[in-house]
Amino acid sequence: MERHSRSGKERRQVRAALHAERPAIQVGKGGVDDALLAAVEQALAAREALKLRVGNNCPTEPRETAELIATALHAEIVAITGNTVLLYRPSEDEP
């Protein structure tokens, strides 16, 4: 599956859309596991963009956590700010 990189303008639009929202998913001490990936997959299927928070007790750093999730689910990391990660994956309905 080919991954397309978003332009700067598109990334800003995703960041703006998620700015006021609370994180939909929190990554805790369990880290990235099958249950977390299933929850993120379901959230990305419902919406193209997702905000998640990496807890302080997560065994991996926010960047590593984001890369693991993005790679597993063919999503794009839009931004990482502190412990907050923004992910984007276009819906499969788009051409």
Residue-wise pLDDT for 7-36, tens only, equals: 788 888 888 888 888 999 999 999 999 999
Contacts of 73 (CB under 8 A, 6+ apart): 37, 40, 41, 44, 87, 89
How confident is the model over 31-81, as pLDDT tens digits? 999 999 999 999 999 989 999 999 999 999 999 999 999 999 999 999 999
Distance CA 76, CA 70 (A): 6
Task: State if pTM tops 0.75.
Answer: yes
Please identify, in words, the CATH class of the domain defined by 8-88: alpha beta
For the chain, the structural domain boundaries read 8-88
